[in-house]
Amino acid sequence: MGIEEAKKIIMETFANTARRLGQSELIGYIYGALFLSDRPLSLGEIAEITGYSLSHVSSAMKVLEGVGLVQRIKKPGDRKAYFVAMKNFGEWRSSAFYENILRDIEETRDNLLRALNEITEDTEEAQKIKEKIQMALKRNEVAKRLLLTIMKFRSEEEILETLERCLKKG
C-alpha cells in the first residue's frame, strides 16, 4: 500500500468519525488534512485537498475551531489565515476545548435546575419528569467531575499511567 492510499484511509477514518458524531464528513476530512500536514494550511489549500468549496471549508472550520480541534495561525506579512490540527492532550488543554465543555456542562446543570424549579404540579407526570431531571443532574455532575479530573493531568501518558495504577490496585 502506498502513502497516498494510507492518507486516504486516514482521511476516511476521520470523516466516518465525524459522521458518527452527527457532523458533516467535511469536518473529518479537514481535520484529516491538517493532521497529516507538516505545516499550517490555508483555507484554499484545505479546499483543494478536500475537494470542497471555500465557503463550505470556511463554515466547517468555525466548528473545528469552536471545539478546539484546530488552531488559527497568522504568518507575519501574510493576510491569509492558516490552520493546524491540535494533535495531543497538551494542545487541547491549552486551547478552549475543555473550558467550552465545562461551560456547557455548567449551563446544562443550570437549565436542568431551572426546569426542576418550574415544576410545581404534584401529579404522576410531574414526578416522572422530576425523576428524569434528577438523573440527568447526577450524570451531569459525574461528567463535570470527570472533566475536572482530566484537566489536572499534563499528558495522555500521565492519565493512562494513573488509570493503570488505579486498576492494578483494584
Average pLDDT of the residues in 58-86: 89
In the predicted model, what is the mean pLDDT of residues 2-13? Answer: 88
Q: Percentage of the chain with pLDDT > 90?
A: 53
Are 156 and 88 in contact, with CB atoms under 8 Å apart? yes
How many angstroms separate the CA atoms of 8 and 33, rounded?
Answer: 10
Closest CA to 71 of 37, 104, 107: 37
Do 66 and 136 sit in the same domain of this protein? no
One domain for residues 11 and 48? yes
Domain at 38, CATH number:
1.10.10.10
> Where does the pLDDT of residue 93 fall: very low under 50, low under 70, confident under 90, or very high at 90 and above?
low
| Predicted pLDDT at 109 | 94
Phi–psi pair at 72, nearest 5 degrees: -85, 140
List of residues 6+ apart from 144 with CB closer than 8 A: 102, 105, 106, 109
Q: Is the pLDDT of residue 96 over 80?
A: no
Q: How far apart are the first and last CA of the chain?
A: 43
pTM: 0.62
Q: 138 and 66, same structural domain?
A: no
How confident is residue 95, by pLDDT bands cut at 50, 70 and 90?
A: low
Count of domains in the chain? 2
Summarize the confidence of residues 125-135 as an average pLDDT.
Answer: 94
Range of the domain at 116: 92-169
Rounded mean pLDDT of the chain? Answer: 88
The region, left, alpha or beta by phi > 0 then psi within -120 to 50, assigned to residue 58 is alpha
pLDDT of 17: 87
Return the percentage of the chain with pLDDT > 70, whole number: 93
pLDDT at position 170? 74
Whether residues 64 and 112 fall in one domain: no
Mean pLDDT, residues 142-153 taken together: 87
Q: How confident is the model at residue 90 (pLDDT cuts 50, 70, 90)?
A: low
Which residues, including other chains, have CB under 8 Å from residue 162's CB and lie 6 or more apart? Answer: 153
Which of 15-29, 65-79, 94-108 comes out lowest in average pLDDT?
Answer: 94-108
Question: Going by DSSP bridges, is the β-strand pair 41-42/81-85 parallel, antiparallel, or unpaired?
Answer: antiparallel
Report pLDDT for 40: 95
The verdict on 81 and 111 lying in the same domain is no
37 grid coordinates? 500536514
Min mean pLDDT across 9-23, 30-44, 149-163 is at 149-163
**Do 26 and 51 reside in the same domain of the chain?**
yes
